[in-house]
Structures are given as C-alpha cells and as structure tokens.
Structure 1
C-alpha cells in the first residue's frame, strides 16, 4: 500500500507540475520588441598643412560640433519644406570655410558668423560617399585645399554657401592654431557619418 501511495503521489506531483508549466507558458507575457532608432550625425576633421615644397608642417585630427540648425536644414531639405527653424538656404553642404576666430562653437551656436573670423572658402574638390552597411553608417568625406593661405588658421566650418556669412553651417570646429605663410597650403578633409547602428 505504501508503495502504491508513493507512486500515486509522485504521479500527481508530476502531472500538476507539467500542468502548471503548460499554463504558465500559455499565459506568459512576451517582451515588447524594442525599435531603438539611435540615428545621429558625427564629424571628424583632418587638417594637413604643407609648405611650398609639399612637406607636412602640421597635422591635426579632431571631432567637430554638428549644429542644431543643421539638423533643421537637413529635415527641411529632405522633406522639401519651405520653412523651419533657421535654415536660410537650401543649397548643398559642400563648401569648407576656414578662419581665425577665438570663441569655441557649440551645437546651439548661431550659424551666420561661423567661421567667426573668416579667411577663405573653397568648394570641396572631392566628395566621396561610403554606403551604410549592417555594421556601419553612411560616411561622406569632403576634401578642400586652400593654397597660399598666409594666416594663422584655428577654425573651420562646413557651409551650404561659398560666400562669407551666407547660408548655414552644418558643422564647426576650433583647433590648435596652424601657422601658414604666403606659400603654405592647407588641406581639409572632413568626414561626416550618419550612423543608425
């Protein structure tokens, strides 16, 4: 009798356990699928100064400030809007400006005076796009060369106009001063990455 009772209790316990497992799985909650869109835009600036013989005088790499107004301009351009917050020109951001300013830029900066003390501007001679992949974002590299600069440059900006003070700035950065004589050249390579991964 004791043996049969023990088997009966064991069988009952297993049946109840399996039943509870089945019920809990039938009524369990699923974790919500999270769509985390972390798209952001970042920039990286490389500046190379050359003397008249092509020798490198100075080399600087730094990350840059992307301006809030640039986000507005990109949205306006992308969706063909005619108004927005601070976008005054719908041209492409393919011009690099350099200057000799002294105040650090911020994302909230007014775009009109950047560079703060304007020296020169150039349309990018090369614009190369690397398409986004499953592991990396879309990267665009703009390259511009300034010849015979003859100034001590410490700031640069990407703008959508080659004219001083016109249009809007996409990105801005100050850096350690680069002393350039009348026969010295400066090559600016600016990588802008839009990365949602």
Structure 2
C-alpha cells in the first residue's frame, strides 16, 4: 500500500510538471502554451529644455527634464480627436475653445515659489509671476512639426518662449507651465506643469528660454 501511494504521488507530480512546466534557470514556475504578453499603445510625453543667458547672450545655465502631462490635458486631446464637445476642464469646437480668448496650448508661464506642484487635475502654477518685469505668461512660438514616420518615432511639436528679465532685483524661477491663454485664473486650462531640476536666478538683462517639446508615440 505504501509503494502504491508513493507511485501515485510521483505520477501526480509528473503530470503537474507536464501541464505547468518548471523554469529551472530561475526557479520559477510558468505555464506552457500561453501567448506572450504584448501591449501596443501610445503615450503623450513632455520634455522641457531651460536655457539661461546673460545680457550678452552667453549661456549661464542649461538644464532639461521630462514632465507629466496632466489629466485635464489628456481629456482635451481625446475631445479634439474624437469629437466630444466638452470635458471637465475645457470646451472644444473644431480644435479650438469656444470661450472667447482661449486657444491652443502655446502659452508658457513661470513660477517663483518653492511650493510643491499641484495635483494633476489642477490648473494652477504655484507662484506664477504676474507682476511684469518681462516674466509674465506669454505666447510661445511653434517650432518645426515632426511627423511620425515609424513605430519608434513619434509626432513632435516644440513650443518656445524667451523671457527677458528687466527687474532691478534678482528673481528666482522654480517652475514653468504650459497653458491655453495669457490670462491666469479659473478659465485658463493647463496642459503641463513642471518644477525645474535646479532653480534659475535671473538678474537684470538675463533671458530665460523655455523649449517645451510634446511627443505622441507608441
């Protein structure tokens, strides 16, 4: 009886191994005859280049960083592409806002506070500069549009703005935001917010260029 029990157990183990399979290279157990997991998809990516120059045009500081596209912006992109007339953060009609004064996301603002970047649904840039001296939110210019030509190459658009500081005291810049209008406040919609890797301290005559690259790939 004992031998029969042992043989039965061995048979059960052999059957289990035959069905499941054992990967002895790492000690893990994996199922056989299962399709490998693949995932096709796309992503909206943001990348910022920050260049500080002195009054003579010499580069004083250079940095770059990736940034997160906030949820409201993702909603607006889908609305424009697929025809929904409104989202929780913007109203869309044929690719532009129906609210007077609002438009595409080509406006860049600067923030001069150490406050933490808000939640991804917020429309606010902490400490955004609104008192002038050449640092108020302003429309950027569009760079050359890059078409997606292969699976690994995304479609890209760069929005650039150079701010020229005219203040008499130093002004430390901590972050930037990408918006759809000049005016700040509740009617403004935000595409992206990002704190700089390192702060930028501007003195009179300095300029600060922000190049904001948006890529859709997958």
- Normalising by structure 1, we get a TM-score of 0.75
Match of 1:50 in 2: 53
Tell me the CA shift for residue 34 of structure 1. Answer: 8.4
Tell me, yes or no, if structure 1 residue 171 matches structure 2 residue 188.
no
- Asked whether the 8 Å contact 1:122–1:145 carries over to 2, the reply is no
Tell me the CA shift for residue 138 of structure 1. Answer: 0.4
- Asked whether the 8 Å contact 1:100–1:154 carries over to 2, the reply is yes
Matches within 5 A, 1:47-196: 47-87=50-90, 90=97, 91-105=103-117, 108-111=120-123, 113=124, 115-119=125-129, 120-134=136-150, 135-148=152-165, 150=167, 151-165=171-185, 166-175=187-196, 176-196=198-218
RMSD: 2.3
Tell me the CA shift for residue 163 of structure 1. Answer: 1.4
Q: CA-to-partner distance for each residue in 1:64-108, whole Å, 9 max, x for gaps?
A: 121011011112222343222222572211111111132333662
In 1, the alpha carbon distance for the partners of 2:51 and 2:65 equals 12
- Give the 3-state SS of the residue equivalent to 1:155 in structure 2: strand
Q: 1:35 to 1:108 in 2, by over 3 A?
A: same
In 1, the alpha carbon distance for the partners of 2:145 and 2:35 equals 36
- The number of residues matched between the two structures is 165
The higher radius of gyration belongs to 1
In 1, the alpha carbon distance for the partners of 2:55 and 2:71 equals 38
In 2, the alpha carbon distance for the partners of 1:38 and 1:74 equals 15
Which of the numbers 24, 41, 44 marks the counterpart of 2:44? 41
Unaligned runs of 5+ in 1: 1-30
Q: CA-to-partner distance for each residue in 1:161-182, whole Å, 9 max, x for gaps?
A: 1212342111110012100012
Unaligned runs of 5+ in 2: 1-33, 98-102, 130-135
Match of 2:15 in 1: none
- Asked whether the 8 Å contact 2:115–2:127 carries over to 1, the reply is no
